[in-house]
Amino acid sequence: MGRSPRWPRPAWGCRVGLVANQVGQAPRLAADLFHRLGPDAAIVTLGRFGALAHTTRGLLRTPAPTVTVVHTHGAGAAFSAGYAQTLLAGATLPEALHAGCTLGSAHCAGSPVTAIQPTPTPNGGPCVIRH
């Protein structure tokens, strides 16, 4: 506390990072990423606190479900899978954030094999994660 966070430098040169005890800085980080990279939405995950997205419409925050955590390894990947799959299925950004938080929390609450159970769509399109 009291010092600036260290921002890792990925291969493409932009600075990305968030120190766990600085969750209050997440809105600033999301806004910075949004303005620097120009995506439709800049998403910042907040672990047990959920996730937020910065868009042209402003800031959207979604809480994570409360679960008993068994492990956290792969939580970010589970969030990303739920978020991306839900968007690909045609859902809205709030629905995708909710799905990401739900799947990330479910993953942390149990084994990855039992926590992730997508349901195929009848037309052979992307799977839908039921939550």
Q: How far apart are CA 80 and CA 60, in angstroms?
A: 17
Q: How far apart are CA 29 and CA 20, in angstroms?
A: 13
CATH code, domain carrying 46:
3.40.1190.20
Q: What's the whole-number average pLDDT of the chain?
A: 77
Q: Is residue 127 part of a domain?
A: no
When divided into structural domains, the chain yields a total of 1
**Whole-structure pTM over 0.75, yes or no?**
no
Average pLDDT of the residues in 116-131: 51
| Domain boundaries, position 85 | 20-108
Q: How far apart are CA 122 and CA 131, in angstroms?
A: 18
Could you tell me the pLDDT band of residue 121, with boundaries at 50, 70 and 90?
low
Q: Is residue 78 part of a domain?
A: yes
